[in-house]
Amino acid sequence: MTRVPTDIFISGGGVAGLTAAAAFGSAGFSVICADPSAPVTSAEAEGADLRTTAFLQPSIPVLEAASLWAKLQPFAARLQVMRIIDAGGEIAEPRVIKDFDAADLSDAPFGWNLPNWLLRREMLARLTELPNVSFLPGIATTALLTRESEALVTLSDGRKITAKLVIAADGRQSTVREALGIPVKTNRYGQKALAFAVTHPVPHNNVSTEIHRSGGPFTLVPLPDRDGRPCSAVVWMETGPEVQRLAALPTAEFEAAINARSCQILGPLTLGSRRTIWPIISQIAARMAGERTALIAEAAHVVPPIGAQGLNMSLADLAALLDLAQADPANLGNAKMLDAYHKRRHIEVQTRVAGIDALNRASMIEPQFLRDLRAGALNAFYSVAPVRKSLMKAGLGLR
């Protein structure tokens, strides 16, 4: 069978993989992107990803370079304030409320929030505008053979692709990473997350709220209004058995549960979508690159959904890789470029994965005296302005 040549082959057509295809295609590279599943681009369709993604400030230039931001911005909800509520007292009610306001850093919000299914729809629309990009839905990567000069990729339909650079964006069980023999370190928390949308009578005023009690955070993230009512995305992290129990509740009982857990800070919540369940782990690959191959996104690192870190770490991977590729396109995918990529990203990724791991463990704690210590720490950190600003900059990935 004829081998199809390309500059870059991307394994994985999730949000990170599609962004990478648009970014490298917009930069003039020839790109082939394949994913074993056809992207679901409607909220009502079976298999739709009802989670949302918050793009923080540093991610916007990546989207702009890919000519994606103009397509996405009209659908985005601004995230002006990150509110942390500790409700870990004897009674499930707010006892510490602290607001981290983006206005303390700049005129821009922390970021913008969009549904994942919509991101796929708009990103696919961008790829159709790029004649140098081919997207292959329903096609899996089955084998990878690398050598010093190029990589050979075998696809599930029998096609063979030769590429100067392979980008593994194929998730936490990455076929490409396994083919390279790169090990991972995984932490399991016994948690799962429920993701769904709600409407509520009190406007969110562009405030993203994390409510901490035990089991994990209950996070409300602003979405654009729905049918004239304020709307938010919710990620509720709890122990696996508890999530399964909650997911099976009738709607009225589930709404009673989310209203108790949310402390009704936005008034009574009304379920606005079906409920989906996602496993929670943290994971990091031992290396960010192998021969002719770069790992990005969940192929390289996985974190619990706290502080909008996951995809923004992935776009930082992409930004570093794109910068190196454009600086020396003649040597795309060679050992020097990929070693530089690993060195640029891996230490930061290790630090961020460790930080999110610590925050998640703190959010899970059950004993009352530890919950009291958590509330005291939140008060202490917030009260010192330089520390508060440093925490905000760290969350955005700014120096």
pLDDT digit string (tens) for 305-343?
Answer: 887 788 899 999 999 999 999 999 999 999 999 999 999
| For range 125-134, the mean pLDDT | 97
Q: Per-residue confidence at 185, pLDDT binned at 50, 70, 90?
A: very high
Which own/partner pairs from 45-48 qualify as long-range (CB within 8 Å, at least 24 positions apart)?
Answer: 45/117, 48/117
Contact 310, 349 (CB under 8 A): no
Most confident of 22-26, 91-95, 367-371, 392-396: 22-26
Query: Is residue 178's pLDDT more than 70?
Result: yes
pLDDT of residue 203: 95
Name which of 160-164, 305-309, 381-385 the model is least confident about: 381-385
All domains of the chain in start order, with CATH = 3-72+117-186+283-359 (3.50.50.60), 77-114+191-280+363-396 (3.30.9.10)
CA nearest 370: which of 94, 3, 13, 89? 89
Q: How confident is the model at residue 391 (pLDDT cuts 50, 70, 90)?
A: low
Question: Long-range contacts made by residues 317-324, C-beta under 8 angstroms, separation at least 24?
Answer: 317/16, 317/288, 317/345, 317/349, 318/16, 318/19, 318/20, 318/23, 318/62, 319/58, 319/61, 319/62, 320/344, 320/345, 321/20, 321/167, 321/294, 321/296, 322/23, 322/24, 322/27, 322/62, 322/65
Neighbours of 317 (CB within 10 A): 28
Query: Residue 398 has what pLDDT?
Result: 64
What pLDDT, in 10s, does the model give residues 212-271?
A: 998 999 999 999 898 899 999 999 999 999 999 999 999 999 999 999 999 999 999 999
Percent of the chain at pLDDT above 70? 97
| DSSP per position, 93-107 | S-SEEEEEEGGGT-S
Mean pLDDT of the chain: 92
Residue 108 pLDDT level (bands cut at 50, 70, 90) = confident
DSSP 297: G
Gap between the Cα atoms of 35 and 42, Å rounded? 18
Angstrom distance (rounded) from CA 374 to CA 86: 8
pLDDT-derived band at 76 (thresholds 50, 70, 90) equals very high
Q: pLDDT tens digit string along 27-64?
A: 999 999 999 998 888 877 777 787 888 899 989 999 99
Q: Encoding tokens for residue 374?
A: 């958590």
Q: What is the band of 392 on the pLDDT scale with cuts at 50, 70, 90?
A: low
C-alpha pair distances (Å), 82 with each of 19, 284, 313, 378, 398: 26, 26, 18, 13, 16
Close Cβ partners of 254 (under 8 Å, ≥ 6 residues apart): 246, 271, 275
Whether residue 384 is predicted with pLDDT greater than 80 in this model: the reply is no
Average the pLDDT over 130-147 and give the result: 97
> Quick one: which H or E segment has residue 221?
strand 218-226
Distance CA 393, CA 348 (A): 14
Q: b/e map of 188-216 (b: 16 or more CB within 10 Å)?
A: ebebbbbbbbbbbeeebebbbbbbbbbbb
Residue 53 · residue 116 · CB < 8 Å: yes
Give residue 42's pLDDT.
83
Question: Are 128 and 22 contacting, i.e. CB atoms less than 8 angstroms apart?
Answer: no
Averaged pLDDT for residues 122-142: 97
> Are the C-beta atoms of residues 174 and 16 closer than 8 Å to each other?
no
Phi, psi (deg, nearest 5) at residue 397: 80, 20
Centroid of chain to Cα 64:
18
Mean pLDDT across 366-377: 83
